[in-house]
Amino acid sequence: MARSIFSNCAPANTAHPHRVARSAHEYKRGTLVMQTISTGMYIGGEWVLPHSGMFDDVINPATEQAFAKSPVSSSDEVSQAIAAAREAFDKGPWPRMSVAERVTILRRLLDTLQQRKEEIVALIVREAGATQFLASALQFDIPMKHAYRLIDDALLISGGFAPLEISPSMNGRKVLGTSSVVHDPVGVVAAITPYNFPFFLNIVKLCHALPMGNTVVLKPSPLTPLEALIIADVAHHVGIPAGVINVITGDAQAGELLTSDPRVDMVTFTGSDKVGASIMAQGAPTLKKMHLELGGKSALIVRADADLANVVQDAMMFTTHAGQGCALTTRHLVHNSLRPAYVNMLGHALKAVKVGDTADPTVHMGPLIRDAARQRCERYVDIALQGGARLVAGGRRPEHLERGFFFEPTLFDDVDNRSRAAQEEIFGPIAVVIGFDTDEEAIALANDSAFGLFGAICSADAGRAYEMALQLRTGGIAINGGSGTMLSGSPFGGYKRSGLGREYGREGLLEFCQSKAIAFRAA
């Protein structure tokens, strides 16, 4: 029987050769996450081993060393997970509970995850390569804040009545009629998440779908499966009904089985625009509802009146998580009167960024997720240079780091906005500087993109910045640094190839509902 790579793991249940036994005693020891991580997927309220017997190494991208194993699902486990979610939605108690009842259970889930913060943050550092500050503040605290707000907002989602209408009838009298509008859950939701912010996206997708009465099959990236399995571990412990949350692990083939299966009613996906387009095609024959949060090539506009010292601090954000963020501003549109000073200041600041193993709490920027991501950055450096751009900082692997998938923070100047380096999402710590002379030119340059996820404007004239923001074709804009946090009640999503639908707040929760009108005569 397969065993965990950890010595204190419980053996599989011999009565059910593909199910793994778990006891309350094991959970209380605080070691269950390691047992679960390395021995099973979570399907229908039980821990299930892969029929294939296949496990993948989970690698720390800062060291290139495997530190755990994760099961690889076959078509059997994918089908079982969908069937469990379908059964739980069609016949189980979850969609028939009141919103308040579901929220009470979900609050227990979040409270228990909060109690395990230290363990989860350590896992984020090792699995996703996040710095310790990033793992704690941005990859744990903010999604937990979002999750609590989402389940509270779900209590405020209620139906209503359409306006009364008077219409004639054949008997000569007038009919007074209206309809009751209710919000039903969509059904079985396939949630597919990427490697860059795994815990963040896993928990917020669940807390969009679940309070509205949906059931979920969650498939994390095969590069970062553990931060989904720990949520399943907690869900099992707090008593979420069987089949409401199912977690499978695997590659793109498992994802395609999810997105094409007629038993799945909706797909929510975060990832690249190319994969998003493929998912739309896979779901088209069954006309699934699609919720897609895709890529970006966001523009930072620096007007001539901007305070450069403050702007450079904001501009440095493109190095967050080694540039592995869809909303990071990687196109810097800078007024030509400021551009030489801006490039000089930002270039010097980037050279001071400490890159290294995220086990070190003083490190500012960690690794890319895998060597393929680093090779992609190297290719784009060559592409930019061949296109006539001037390399200001970075552009290579750090010489002092022999292991780990590291790449230096990189800045280019003299970049053509129509070049590949300015138009394509690199998903690494690479930014380009493009000059402009008028506000109208800056707006045109910002909008000249296939993407429209986010953007930023820095100016001493906040009113003018707001006027410009109204003209940008993008889902979100930050003026002079924005709100200081990612707001939990503010809708997030993109235009154009940056996706379909919105997350957070009322808008995000309603994405996971169907509106039903029940018409009747008032008199």
DSSP secondary structure, 30-67, as one string: T-HHHHHHHH-EEETTEEE--TT--EEEEEETTTTEEE
- Sole residue written with tokens 């709490």: 361
- For position 36, what pLDDT does the model report? 43
Q: What is the CATH number of the domain that holds 227?
A: 3.40.605.10
* Predicted TM-score of the model (pTM): 0.92
Within the chain, what is the greatest distance between any pair of CA atoms?
Answer: 89
Q: With pLDDT > 90 as the criterion, what percentage of the chain qualifies? A: 89
Are 432 and 449 in a shared domain?
Answer: yes
Are 381 and 418 in a shared domain?
Answer: yes
Are 227 and 335 in a shared domain?
Answer: no
Are 219 and 261 in a shared domain?
Answer: yes
What are the pLDDT digits (tens) for 454-495?
Answer: 999 999 999 999 999 999 999 999 999 999 999 999 999 999
492 in a domain, yes or no?
A: no
Are 69 and 139 in a shared domain?
Answer: yes
Are 310 and 285 in a shared domain?
Answer: no
- For position 523, what pLDDT does the model report? 67
What end-to-end distance do the CA atoms of the chain give, in Å? 69
Instruction: Flag the least confident range among 30-34, 143-147, 335-339, 459-463.
Output: 30-34
Q: What is the CATH number of the domain that holds 431?
A: 3.40.309.10
Are 79 and 39 in a shared domain?
Answer: yes
Residues 154, 503: contact at Cβ < 8 Å?
no
Which amino acid is located at 207 in the chain?
Answer: C
Are 325 and 279 in a shared domain?
Answer: no
Domain that holds residue 303: 298-487
Categorize the per-residue pLDDT at 32 as very low, low, confident or very high, splitting at 50, 70 and 90.
very low
Are 456 and 396 in a shared domain?
Answer: yes
214 in a domain, yes or no?
A: yes
- For position 52, what pLDDT does the model report? 86
Are 320 and 402 in a shared domain?
Answer: yes
Can 293 be counted among the known catalytic residues?
A: yes
238 in a domain, yes or no?
A: yes
- Mean confidence (pLDDT) of the chain: 92
Categorize the per-residue pLDDT at 1 as very low, low, confident or very high, splitting at 50, 70 and 90.
very low
pLDDT of 13 strictly over 70: no
- For position 522, what pLDDT does the model report? 79
- For position 22, what pLDDT does the model report? 40
Long-range contact set of residues 114-121: C-beta below 8 Å, sequence gap at least 24: 114/144, 116/33, 116/230, 116/234, 119/30, 119/33, 119/230, 120/199, 120/227, 120/230
pLDDT of 98 strictly over 60: yes
Higher per-residue pLDDT: 170 or 155: 155
Helix (H, G, I), strand (E, B) or coil at 185: strand
How many CB atoms within 10 Å of residue 287?
9
- For position 17, what pLDDT does the model report? 35
Are 266 and 307 in a shared domain?
Answer: no
DSSP alpha helix (H) spans, 91-217: 99-115, 117-128, 132-133, 142-154, 198-209
The catalytic residue among 326, 377, 458, 511 is 326
- For position 39, what pLDDT does the model report? 61
150 in a domain, yes or no?
A: yes
Total domain count, the chain: 2
- For position 25, what pLDDT does the model report? 31
d(CA 199, CA 491): 20
- For position 159, what pLDDT does the model report? 84
d(CA 308, CA 334): 11
What are the pLDDT digits (tens) for 240-297?
Answer: 999 999 999 999 999 999 999 999 999 999 999 999 999 999 999 999 999 999 999 9
d(CA 184, CA 213): 8
523 in a domain, yes or no?
A: no
Categorize the per-residue pLDDT at 158 as very low, low, confident or very high, splitting at 50, 70 and 90.
confident
Q: Tell me the average pLDDT across 308-328.
A: 96
- For position 172, what pLDDT does the model report? 86
Radius of gyration of the chain (CA): 25
Categorize the per-residue pLDDT at 15 as very low, low, confident or very high, splitting at 50, 70 and 90.
very low
Can 326 be counted among the known catalytic residues?
A: yes
The catalytic residue among 46, 127, 293, 503 is 293
- For position 289, what pLDDT does the model report? 98
Are 126 and 30 in a shared domain?
Answer: yes
Please give the angle made by the CA atoms of 354, 360 and 361, to the nearest 5 degrees: 85
Instruction: Flag the least confident range among 8-12, 123-127, 212-216, 435-439.
Output: 8-12
- For position 29, what pLDDT does the model report? 35
